[in-house]
Amino acid sequence: MRNIIAITGLVIALAGCSTDGGGTTGAIDIGPGIRPIPGSITYRGQPRTKLTKSPIGSVVPHEFRNELGQRVEENYIIQPDRSLKLVSRRVFRDPFGLDD
């Protein structure tokens, strides 16, 4: 029974991941419910300034390099209270830095 639960959890976790065959090696998409990492806009909480001119529901893209030097692309959605909700992240894992 314990093995079935472990395998089911692994299948669910891997179902949310996909590789990008578009010229980058090992780009991974991660879905909703992900936590901010260092470099994310909301890593240390919501930003002090609010996006007052952007419509609610707008997508805010953000790109940065993580602590391993990998390029990271994140998308946020503006919530009704003007906070940002992290909804997707893509980490480009090209070992030679050719994914730029």
User: Would you state the pLDDT for residue 74?
Assistant: 94
Q: What is the pLDDT of residues 35-78, one digit of tens each?
A: 999 999 999 999 888 888 889 999 999 999 999 999 999 999 99
What pLDDT digit, counting tens, does each position of 6-30 carry? 555 544 554 444 444 444 455 666 6
CB 84 within 8 A of CB 76: yes
The answer to whether residues 26 and 71 touch, using CB atoms and an 8 Å cutoff, is: no
Strand pairing of 71-78 and 84-92?
antiparallel
Which strands sit side by side in the sheet containing 59-65, from one edge to the other? 28-30, 84-92, 71-78, 59-65
- The predicted pLDDT at position 14 comes to 47
Query: Mean pLDDT of all residues in the chain?
Result: 77
Specify the pTM: 0.65
Contact 29, 90 (CB under 8 A): yes
